[in-house]
Every structure is written in C-alpha cells, then in structure tokens.
A = this chain, B = another copy of it.
C-alpha cells in the first residue's frame, strides 16, 4: 500500500459566509463532510477565518475517524486575498503534515473544477457579487468583473438590491413609476408606509435612506430575492431590473467565450436562470456547454486527488445535490 493510498485527501471551500470541508479516501469516495462559519480572511479577518477552517477540518476528520497527519493532500479554495495568511501558517494551524501537498486556489478555479472534467473552459459566479474567468490549462487566464460592490459586480445580488432601493426611492419621490417593489422593501425593512410629507418628502423615504446608509452597503443584496419574486408576479419595474441584471451577466459570459464548458454558480444565477432569460443572456449562452456547480468543494477535491496522481472519476457521482454538506 502506498502512503497516498493509506491516507485521505482533504478539500476545503472557505467562503464569505460558510466554510465547507470534505474528506475523501484515495479512491475519491467521500468519508465525511462538515461546515463551519465564514472562512474568507479578507471578509471576516484572519482569526475568525482560521477558526472556521479549523472547526470544519476537525469535524470532518473526526467524522472520517482520521487525524490531520493522515491527510496526504489538501486543496483550499478561497475568495479574497491570498496574502493575509501564509500556507505554512495554515498547514500548522490545521494540524496537517507539512511534507505533503497543500495548495490554495481561487474559489472561481475550484468552482470550475467542481463541474468540468477539462482543464480549459470558463466559469461565472453570480451571488452577492459577480465575476467570470477563462480557465486555460488549469489556471486563470482572464478574469472579468468581480471588482467589488462599489465599482463592479454588475448583475449580482448587491447590484440588484441597490436597483430595487433606487426604484423604491423614485417611486416614493415621484420621479419614477409606482412599483410593487415598494411594499416588498417596506416589509423587508419592517417599515410602515407613511407617506405624509416632512420637509417636502414622504416620511418613510427618509427612514429608508437613513436605514440603508446606516448598514453595510452589501446588505442591500438581501433585497434581491424580493426582486425576483415581484418580477415573477408581473411587476414591470422588477422585471426590468432582472432583465438588466441578466444583460450585465451576458457581458461577462461574452468576455470569457472560448473552448470548453462554462461552469455557472451562485444564488443569483440559480434564481435568475429559473425564470425566463433576457435575450442578450440567451444569445451569449447559445451553443455553450453550461454546467451548474454548487460551490468549489468538489473542484478542490478533484485538484487534491490530482495532486497525488489519483483518478477523479468517482467525483462525478457526487455532482448535483450531493455536493452540499448535511449541516
């Protein structure tokens, strides 16, 4: 028995809200999964991120009845900066053997490998933010979008939420059409629809403006689900926002055109693709081999197996609903 065959491989996907861990045997069969809190050090700080990673790893290894020293290969997929924590720190902190392969990859690259067998293609994520990449020979060749909520991330959750809030302010000050997004936003914010004038404005408009500016801007992303629901019910303003968002995503899809499959993921993508597609997006997707992916966990597992020269074919059976941890 080779050392690799006697141990396990470890896949990690550290996101801004959840950290997932998956332990597999050398044949690519899952032994245990676990989930913990946010593991992106750019988003939540190094200590919180390390704590989440350690919790997820400990729980998954315990579930598999193994220890950190039995891990033969680890791949950690993460969003955010890779300069905040060194690989050496991570290996030590997670109790891994420093002599075996440890690789950190972009969450976008991991998501690509979660669904694609090939080493060349493209990936698109539309969640709170949006970003797309062309992958060539297993590396990111070109990344577009993903410039953060203030400048980019067009067509994704924050962008949609801000458009919703803007449409509601326009409704309330009379510069835009009435929309069913207004009662939806008031319900989400827990506000009473009091439009009595105060210094030339509807009272509730001032309350909305104060609440929005008092919270972290990305919190506006929580209005995206309401936008899809109100659009489904036929509201013209909400339908226009959803269509405009899809046209923005179409720009990203076109920018990563080329050979190989297009792997797509993210909550806004899944929700948006459940309805009718805007013409620009339908056109951009025409003829592409579109593969959905839940996250980067299976891709991390695939890369961790490949680092040992082991086959990844058993992972095919895990794609789809099985990719989510049981927590």
- A147 sits at the interface (CB 8 A): yes
Given A147-B205, A217-B150: A141 and B174 interface contact (C-beta under 8 Å): no
**26 pairs, CB–CB < 8 Å, chain A vs chain B:** A106-B199, A133-B200, A134-B200, A140-B199, A140-B200, A141-B200, A142-B174, A142-B200, A142-B201, A143-B173, A144-B173, A144-B174, A145-B173, A145-B175, A147-B169, A148-B209, A150-B162, A150-B213, A151-B166, A151-B169, A151-B209, A151-B212, A152-B166, A175-B251, A175-B252, A175-B255
A167 to chain B, nearest CB (A): 10
- A94 sits at the interface (CB 8 A): no
CB <8 Å contact, B152 and A169: yes
Q: How many copies does the complex hold?
A: 2
Residues in B whose Cβ lies below 8 Å from that of A152:
166, 169, 209
Majority DSSP secondary structure for residues of A touching B: mixed
- A323 sits at the interface (CB 8 A): no
Among A145, A148, A174, A200, max chain B CB count under 10 A is at: A200
- A285 sits at the interface (CB 8 A): no
Q: Which residue of B lies closest to A163 (CB)?
A: B151
- A165 sits at the interface (CB 8 A): yes
Residues in B whose Cβ lies below 8 Å from that of A175:
144-145, 251-252, 255
Measured as residues with beta carbon below 8 angstroms from the partner, the interface class of chain A is: 20 to 34
Give Cα distance in the complex from A84 to B199, angstroms: 16
CB <8 Å contact, B162 and A151: yes
A191 to chain B, nearest CB (A): 15
A226 to chain B, nearest CB (A): 16
Give Cα distance in the complex from A33 to B55, angstroms: 65
